[in-house]
Amino acid sequence: MKLLVFAGSTRQHSWNRKLAAVTASMARASGAQVTHIELADFDVPLYNADLEARGTPPDVMRLKQLGHEHPAWIICTPEYNASYPALLKNTLDWISSPVTSDPVWNDDFRATRGKVVGVLSASPGALGGLRSQSHLVPLLLNLHFWVAPTNYALGRAADAFDAQGQLVADASRHKVQAVIDQVLWAADRLA
């Protein structure tokens, strides 16, 4: 199963980037064909319909294609002011925006429709980014994703990773694995 994994953060020491890296490694060990991307590697401007009218940026087209090629996704979302960050919203807005002049990409949900997505989050607070997940899930449903009901919010993230970036607690690894397993299982059933 092809699985796309990314974090909604570009911060160098982001807990969610660490969580995405751990998730990608665990999913590979589970037999998935994982594509782990960093949003910082894509030149994606702030969404603007006037800019889009001049042509969809090449890196947005790359993201659309990556989304389309992967039946399974896992998104690790930070929590900013009790919601998901603008970077993640902007990325999803571009991915789901139709390219009206293109017969293939004029379908706004081509990259997201029917994909199974799992949601993870990490935060230094006790709730682990759970509030960001509660805001992100309705957006994902609107984009025609199948959202896995199993999720995980990693609290106290500052103490959750060792010096090599691995999760310290077995319980945390088991909860991340449960999300991976459910996403891969559901994507296989829906494929």
| DSSP state, residue 152 | E
- What is the model's pLDDT at position 191? 87
Dist CA 11 CA 177 (whole Å) = 24
Please give the domain boundaries of the chain with CATH numbers for all domains: 2-190 (3.40.50.360)
163, exposed or middle or buried, with CB in 10 Å at 0-12, 13-18, 19+?
Answer: exposed
Q: Is 55 left (phi over 0), alpha (psi -120 to 50) or beta?
A: left
Q: Is 95 left (phi over 0), alpha (psi -120 to 50) or beta?
A: alpha
Residues 6+ apart with CB under 8 A from 81: none
| DSSP state, residue 86 | H
Its pTM stands at 0.97
Which stretches in the chain have pLDDT values below 70? Answer: none
- What is the model's pLDDT at position 77? 98
